[in-house]
Structure 1
Amino acid sequence: MQALNDFLLLIDSYIGSHIWFVLLLLGTGIFFTIYLKFPQIRFFKYAIRIVQGKFDKEDDEGDTSHFQALTTALSGTVGTGNIAGVAFAVHLGGPAALFWMLVTAMFGMTTKFVEVTLSHKYREKAQDGSIAGGPMYFMRKRLNISTKSGKTIKTGYWIAGIFAIATILSSFGTGSLPQINSISNSLFSTFGIPHMVTGLVLAILLAFVIIGGIKRIAKVTSRLVPAMALIYFIGAMAVILFNYENIWPSIQSVVGDIFTGSSATGGFLGATIAFAFNRGVNRGLFSNEAGQGSAPIAHAAAKAHEPVSEGMVALLEPFIDTIIICTLTGFVLLSSGVWSEKIDNRFQLADLQVLNTNEVSDQTDEGKMTLSDHISGEESLPLFSGQIGVKDGKISSPVTMIHARSLAEDVKVKKGNTLYNGQLNVSNGNIVIKDEHQSLIERIKSQFTQSGNNQIIIEGKSLIHSAPLTAVAFTKSWFGQFGQYIVSIGLLLFAFSTAISWSYYGDRAVTYLWGSKYVIWYHFVYVIGFFVASFVDTTIIWTLSGITIALMTIPNLFGLLFLHKEMKSDVKRFWKEYKQRFPEEKNVPQD
């Protein structure tokens, strides 16, 4: 598992986590924001009117309404990114990461407006009569190169094919795997429900919904999204108001750390400006998916005769998803203070590292600096290899453990429910436990038999991240321990709806590449993958999601930039029609 995670991290370091990807993403949003004269501000009120059906015609063609398309796309974006992703970003980059998430969302509103408009414009009818659309369609039709001799090089076909394949991969890396992983982890920590039981039940429900196609998906998501948003809002506001004295300090920490990086505090060992910027933008994209090209696939099914109108509907997504919901999560984490506190938890091996020294401490400024440099990769401390002794659950060898980017304390090793006595094998700082290499059949069997109680477990105090961190934060309110149930329920609804929407995105990509008849096989693999991911290590899944996001985003952004002039012409044409239909309105934008 660790070797696989290291390999995926190496790949991700050259694409999704690299600074050039972040600059391309933000740069595209900034370019279109200036080029189209801040449409996220000027067009906002018109976007709300269009969602209400003010611009519709009776003969508009499509499978869903504006509102259903918006909620379907929102269900694809409002997921673990809002609960687990924000917590992960703050865990890595500190409070400043939240600021960069909001910046990403602001420019992402324009990016999503552009990508949905172009995709809706070039949508088609599939073999089964349903509407099929997405970036692959405008890529195939508009990104070909004409030579001086009059020949056409079909580059658009290749780019569209790459995007479609990346969409299928991303439907697992974004929509299926991390969603069920976060759900199963949350339900296990809150209610003690075995991971595979959660995975099995939800996989059956998922199969039932997605077999009904976009119309059933739209009906389900149009009910789920408002309900889950209301539940989550009430729980988040309860935490923020309960800790009202920390609201202003939280705002100060977000703004004050933008250009300085986040200092070490509590168990948090600090983060540089560059790291906070990179993680904030990266997690911001994972949350609202602006530029990734996923939402245009859902919006392509909307009933609309004018593509720019549907683009305006999409403009609302990053605002709702990131500027509202992610901000709520961020201030829950900061006002409660749990983001920098060490908490009793079960260690994940992919987050655990063993150092060949016990002379480093996080109680002094010098020790914090040494640990921070090691975690950031600037200077490495010696890693342990060999065997470490364990007596009555306590480590007897002179080593130090780092878990979740913090110095682990009160470490206990158990075998099932009893304290462990024996040896742990360590290779280059990574603990190797035989149970981690069980076959799939053995893992499934261990979940439903007594053998599942004999696994080696390492527990202790350390920082935590992702959904468990948000769950702890929600207990710091009038609801007390019941607050964690809000997170569990919210995560269940958020993440499950995301998995539903992403099955449709992958479905359309399969339809584009091979036709409608192969969709059933994709659905089968999607549901199986959804089940398996319920008991796979969280860290590896987050790493995989970062790679698949990049594989979709890069060709999509280049396509948007290539068609910038066409986009501007379409916007002018829309406002011309709008003025003809509503001549009584004043101060209507010109372009």
Structure 2
Amino acid sequence: MWTAVILTGIVAAVTIGGLQSIARTAEKIVPAMAIIYCASTLGFLIIFYDKIPAAIIEIMTDAFTPTAATGGFLGATVMVAMRNGIARGVFSNESGLGSAPIVAAAAKTKWPAEQGLISMTGTFIDTIIICTMTGLVLVVSGLWNGDMNGATLTQGAFLQAFPNFGSMMLMVGLVLFAFTTILGWNYYGERCCEYLVGVKGIMPYRIIFIMLVACGAFLKLEAIWVLADIVNGLMAIPNLIALLGLSGVVVSETKAYYAHLKEEKMQTRVTGRISETFKE
């Protein structure tokens, strides 16, 4: 209850009250927390380095064997593994949902392809690096076989390596990550609402958003995952159709950008040769 009250109050203060200083502070702290989290995860894996090969083998084996899905066969098991993997992967990096481009579109750049390439690094960092490290931590800890789930599971794993401060470190990191994520999704929704109904729809949207934040603390984790998968799918379907329709534009913009880089490189070489000639 207190989590819901405090979180809702802070989100309301930022979105309605205009206390942007809280958001700016969190934006400065979160990159540092991301580095600390990665360093802590790496430290855990170093401490239990001897268990990493067995964990990787276990992940690869269980993903493609009938035991991974109760009562399933190989095809169904692979389908379930892919479905859950893709759903969690999309949830971690928002690829294909069309949400991240809302922020990318606000960037001032001469080449859209350049901004797109920069945005692609987010997927690699989120899923390939951070999520893989977290997954290895959970499997190495052996706690994934128990009753714990979500943040509790991750906290239990970190306590094995850092019994004195593991839970506090993870708690602070999760609070900051979650808070800034909530503010980010609020921004996404505001831009979409403004596009659909105009500026007059922003305030009603903010009120509904804050009410949903208050309800979030009382939902079961399983219900949250199901709800997230449904709404992510509703976002992805129209966005992926649009991506297919705009694929020609993407290809042409990318070719133009690489041609520009090639031309710039050639000019640099020519300028360098001319300078060397004058020196001689």
SS in 2 for 1:326: helix
SS in 2 for 1:468: helix
Offset from partner CA, 1:506-560 (integer Å, 9 cap, x none) = 0001100111232122112211221122122222222111100000001100111
Which residue of 96, 103, 108 maps to 1:291? 96
The Cα shift of 1:216 comes to: 6.8
Partner of 2:152: 468
Give the number of the structure whose residues are more often strand, by fraction: 1
Distance 1:320 1:277 in 2: 20
1:493 and 2:189 correspond? no
SS in 2 for 1:584: helix
Offset from partner CA, 1:104-156 (integer Å, 9 cap, x none) = xxxxxxxxxxxxxxxxxxxxxxxxxxxxxxxxxxxxxxxxxxxxxxxxxxxxx
1:574 and 2:257 correspond? yes
Which residue of 19, 29, 51 maps to 1:246? 51
Distance 1:261 1:508 in 2: 45
Counterparts of residues 505-516 of structure 1 (less than 5 Å): 505-516=188-199
Q: Tell me: CA distance 1:304–1:542, structure 2 relative to 1, closer, same or farther (3 Å).
A: same
Distance 1:571 1:218 in 2: 34
Counterparts of residues 98-117 of structure 1 (less than 5 Å): none
Q: Tell me: CA distance 1:503–1:468, structure 2 relative to 1, closer, same or farther (3 Å).
A: same
Number of matched pairs: 262
The Cα shift of 1:222 comes to: 4.0
What amino acid is the match of 2:151?
A
The Cα shift of 1:259 comes to: 3.1
SS in 2 for 1:480: coil
Which residue of 538, 545, 565 maps to 2:228? 545
The Cα shift of 1:585 comes to: 7.0
- Is contact 2:63–2:77 with CA below 8 Å preserved after alignment? no
Distance 1:309 1:467 in 2: 36
Distance 1:212 1:567 in 2: 39
Partner of 1:205: 10
The Cα shift of 1:217 comes to: 8.8
Q: Tell me: CA distance 1:311–1:558, structure 2 relative to 1, closer, same or farther (3 Å).
A: same
Distance 1:275 1:560 in 2: 26
Which residue of 128, 133, 157 maps to 1:323? 128
The Cα shift of 1:231 comes to: 2.3
Q: Tell me: CA distance 1:320–1:504, structure 2 relative to 1, closer, same or farther (3 Å).
A: same
Offset from partner CA, 1:230-288 (integer Å, 9 cap, x none) = 22123212322222221111122223344335569xxxxxx933222221111111111
Which residue of 78, 89, 94 maps to 1:273? 78
The Cα shift of 1:469 comes to: 0.9
- Is contact 2:27–2:180 with CA below 8 Å preserved after alignment? no
TM-score after normalising by structure 1: 0.42
The Cα shift of 1:580 comes to: 4.3
Which residue of 296, 308, 313 maps to 2:113? 308
What amino acid is the match of 1:576?
A
Counterparts of residues 332-343 of structure 1 (less than 5 Å): 332-340=137-145, 342=146
Distance 1:232 1:514 in 2: 40
Runs (5+) with no aligned partner, structure 1: 1-195, 265-270, 343-462, 587-591
Distance 1:216 1:198 in 2: 21
Q: Tell me: CA distance 1:303–1:208, structure 2 relative to 1, closer, same or farther (3 Å).
A: farther
Give the number of the structure whose residues are more often helix, by fraction: 2
Runs (5+) with no aligned partner, structure 2: 70-75, 271-280
Distance 1:279 1:552 in 2: 17
The Cα shift of 1:300 comes to: 1.1
- Is contact 2:138–2:144 with CA below 8 Å preserved after alignment? yes
SS in 2 for 1:476: helix
The Cα shift of 1:290 comes to: 0.3
- Is contact 1:210–1:216 with CA below 8 Å preserved after alignment? no
Structure whose alpha-carbon radius of gyration is higher:
1
- Is contact 2:45–2:137 with CA below 8 Å preserved after alignment? yes
RMSD: 2.4
The Cα shift of 1:581 comes to: 4.3
Q: Percent identity?
A: 40
